[in-house]
Amino acid sequence: AQRVTQPEKLLSVFKGAPVELKCNYSYSGSPELFWYVQYSRQRLQLLLRHISRESIKGFTADLNKGETSFHLKKPFAQEEDSAMYYCALLSGGYNKLIFGAGTRLAVHP
């Protein structure tokens, strides 16, 4: 079954601390994975996708097929990173996304 698991509902860190938001997936084919972010009172927006291998706002995510993971990392968290983060898996064609439950990141001063 195709599934995305984000084990942490809440991740609370202090400003400047490293951050890792965990994401594991279950998919039989070659996965295409994304991280979406939702800031307070704003709409969901794309943060990064693994095929582009880019770094956005200091965040990176590496696809590890052996561990079926796509963890989101940032070496030094900022207060403005506080948001809800969703890991998503592309299921088949037509941009059908399967979302994880989401992790709320709270960065404290």
Partner 1 sequence: GAVVSQHPSWVICKSGTSVKIECRSLDFQATTMFWYRQFPKQSLMLMATSNEGSKATYEQGVEKDKFLINHASLTLSTLTVTSAHPEDSSFYICSAETSNEGELFFGEGSRLTVL
Indicate which single residue of 14, 62, 75, 101 sits in contact with partner 1 (rule: CB under 8 A). Answer: 101
How many residues of this chain bind partner 1 (CB under 8 A)?
A: 17
Interacting positions 80-99 with partner 1 (CB under 8 A): 86, 93-99
| CA 64 centroid distance within chain | 14
56 binds partner 1 (CB under 8 A): no
Least distance in Å: CB of 49 to partner 1?
9
100 binds partner 1 (CB under 8 A): yes
The CA-based dihedral angle spanning residues 10, 13, 15, 19, taken in that order and rounded to the nearest 10 degrees? -80
User: CA 47 to CA 93: how far, in whole Å?
Assistant: 20
31 binds partner 1 (CB under 8 A): no
What distances in angstroms separate CA 4 from CA 30, 83, 92, 103, one per listed residue?
A: 14, 19, 14, 12
Q: Residue numbers of the site for partner 1 (CB under 8 A)?
A: 9, 42-46, 86, 93-102
